[in-house]
Amino acid sequence: MTGTPQPPGVPVTIHASNGVQIRWSSCPIMVDFDNDLRFQLRSDAVNEVTVPPGRYRAKLYSLYFGIKVGKAEIDVDTSSWAPVTFSYAAPYTIYSRGAAGYGELKRPGGRGILVIIGIAVAVPLLVVAITLLTTR
């Protein structure tokens, strides 16, 4: 996690999935609790941050070359000083939304990968088939 030393506050535990994959690595995962409360999360890890007591709309996303992808939001209430734990699942592709919730989550976008691969295979086969049918 990056940033300045954290003041005393309420512990928030975030279970983060792997980030969106780009070639040989994954995109950084970020969480914004407020304009001044931004943390970078470790992928496929349990991350602990400290926030002041209050009510927040946590905005989670992956940074894909500076663009926020896989966005997800969750309401977090630390006003009672009780620790909070939630999960973020980054999508498999940049074209899907992420998921945030209080429990285990599946990574969204798995079907999107199948569609992309299916189109990549079907289009060349269709071009070959049309070429073979029209040349006879």
Rounded Cα distance between 136 and 132, Å, is 7
**Residue 3 confidence (pLDDT):** 57
Show Cβ contacts of residue 129 under 8 Å, excluding neighbours closer than 6 positions. none
Residue 22 has a pLDDT of 77
How far out from the chain centre does Cα 28 lie? 9
Domain that holds residue 51: 10-108
Given a contact cutoff of 8 angstroms between Cβ atoms, the answer to whether 69 and 27 are in contact is: yes
What does the pLDDT profile of the chain (136 residues) look like in tens digits? 555 555 578 999 999 988 877 777 788 999 999 878 999 999 889 999 999 999 999 999 999 888 999 999 999 999 999 999 999 999 888 888 999 999 888 887 666 667 777 888 889 888 888 888 888 6
- Residue 114, domain member (yes or no): no
Residues 128, 46: Cα–Cα separation, whole Å: 49
pLDDT reported for residue 19: 80
Report how far apart, in Å, the C-alpha atoms of 25 and of each of 13, 22, 28, 36, 43 are: 24, 6, 9, 28, 10
Residue 33 within a domain: yes
pLDDT of residue 117: 78
Domain presence at residue 28: yes
Q: State residue 13's pLDDT score.
A: 94
In a domain, 119, yes or no: no
- Residue type (1 letter), 129: A
Q: How many CB atoms lie within 10 A of CB 103?
A: 8
> Which CATH number does the domain housing residue 86 bear?
2.60.40
The residue type at 132: L
So what's the pLDDT on residue 55? 93
How many independent structural domains does the chain possess?
1
The pLDDT of residue 86: 96
